[in-house]
Structures are given as structure tokens and as C-alpha cells.
Amino acid sequence: MSETQAQPRTTIHLLDAFGLDRDQARVHVLPSVRKLLALLAVREAPVSRTAVAALLWPEATARRAAACLRSTLWRLAKPGDPLVEAADDTLRLGPGVDVDFHRACRLVDAVAVADRVPDPDAVALLRADLLPDWDHPWLLAEQDWWREARLRALEVLSGRFRSAGDRHRAHQAALAAVHSDPLRESAHRTLVELHLAEGNPAQALRQYTAYRLRLRSELGLEPSPEIHRLVRPLLGHR
């Protein structure tokens, strides 16, 4: 790889928790700067200054919000590769900034391609939610979308790994989905199928039973007929 094709020197992390790395070293970021970078990273496309100010300081007047944005941008004005570029009254991340969330979204898109060989490291990138400790209104829709998108991708990956004969990663992907959403039946069903395919009926029954008890306890519901049919031969007369 040539120097011109080297990996970006700056990385913004949005998965699991916010972080900013420059030349592989973690950088302390003030809260206002953190929110600005996260907003621009999530939106990707240029965002007008007016929209940015209104989203980040919703309780302030338009004049005050604009002043807060100018102050935040001033704090970012350092020599070297710019973190934020301004043009025609819009803001966007600088071209040398990598974002882990963008890579994860591209991976989700790639998973949707039928018969594509899975990336062995895909599960690790899809384990984490998008800034799970943040509750800003401008972020909620993206958080919900990402959670569902990555869970679906993990389930698809599990099946793809299984078809490729990689049972270890098939289990990893299904378990990651279950850990993220313990009441997601499709993920539990995938694990039950994997245990049965490997000749582990006792483990399959334990997986089903644990899911059934949790579903009853938290929602007062019963598992669907689809997952019940998988373990019916193991339940005797039940």
C-alpha cells in the first residue's frame, strides 16, 4: 500500500461509545465538539449550519445556537487535516476522517449480497450499538435503524457461515444477536438449529427453555410454533 493510499490518520468511533483517534492515539474531546462530530458522522452528507445549530442546541434561540456552533468550530480550528470542512454554509467531516459506523454500514450492505463469502471479522464490527448511552432526539431514529439492521445482518451472517462450514463463527454471530436482544426469537431459533445440526440436542433444548422462560417472565408470551417444532421431538409428550 502506497503512502497516498494509507489508512486515514483520524478515526471517529460511534459504535459502543464515542472516541476520536489521531495517529492511533486517543484524543480528549469536549462535549460540544463530541456532539458536532457525531452528528456530522451520522449524517455523512453536508448539513447546513442552521440545521446543525438547531439540532445540537434545540432549547436555545437561533442566535444563541449559532453562537454556540461558531464557538465549537473555533475549538476545532487546528492546523493539519481538518476534522470539519465548511463550504457554502454547510458543514461536513473532513476527507481524511474515517468513521467506524460507516464501515459497519457498508458491511451490512455487503451482507445483503446473496452468496457473498462472509468477512471473518464481520461479527466483531456488528456487535455494538450506535452510541447506546446517548439519547439526543436527532440520533434516536439512526440508533433504532442500526440496531435492527445489524441484528438482521448477524442472523444472515450466521447462516452464511454455517453454509460455508464455519460453525464457530456461525455460533458467534447468532450469540451476538441474542446478547443484543435476548427476546429476539429468530436469533434463538438460529442457535437451536445450529445445536441440532451439530448433534447437541441437550444444548438445543437448554437454549429453547431459557428463551421460553425469559419470554414468559418478561412479556407473558409463549414461543412461536416455528421454534417449538424444532424441539418438539425432544420434549416427549409436551
pLDDT tens, the chain, 238 aa long: 444 455 558 999 999 999 999 888 999 999 999 999 999 999 989 999 999 999 999 999 999 999 999 999 998 877 667 899 998 899 999 988 999 999 999 999 988 887 676 677 889 889 999 999 999 999 999 999 999 999 999 999 999 899 888 999 999 999 999 999 999 999 999 999 999 999 999 999 999 999 999 999 999 999 999 999 999 998 875 5
Give the pLDDT score at 101: 96
Asked if residue 229 is part of any domain, the answer here is no
Write b or e for each residue in 41-62: b if 16 or more Cβ atoms lie within 10 A of its Cβ, otherwise e. Answer: bbbeeebebeebbbbbbeeeee
DSSP state of 9: S
Mean confidence (pLDDT) of the chain: 90
Asked if residue 114 is part of any domain, the answer here is no
Which cell numbers hold the place of 34? Answer: 463530541
Asked if residue 30 is part of any domain, the answer here is yes
CATH number of the domain encompassing residue 55:
1.10.10.10
User: Are 80 and 87 in contact, with CB atoms under 8 Å apart?
Assistant: no
Going by C-beta distance under 8 Å and a sequence separation of 6 or more, which residues neighbour residue 104? 15, 125, 126, 146, 150
Asked if residue 197 is part of any domain, the answer here is no
Domain count, the chain: 1
Global pTM?
Answer: 0.86
Give the pLDDT score at 1: 40
Residues 134 and 143: their CA atoms lie apart, in Å, by: 9
Give the pLDDT score at 95: 87
Asked if residue 89 is part of any domain, the answer here is yes
User: Are 90 and 49 in contact, with CB atoms under 8 Å apart?
Assistant: yes
- Structural domain span for residue 52: 7-98
Asked if residue 66 is part of any domain, the answer here is yes
Give the pLDDT score at 66: 96
Asked if residue 213 is part of any domain, the answer here is no
Asked if residue 60 is part of any domain, the answer here is yes
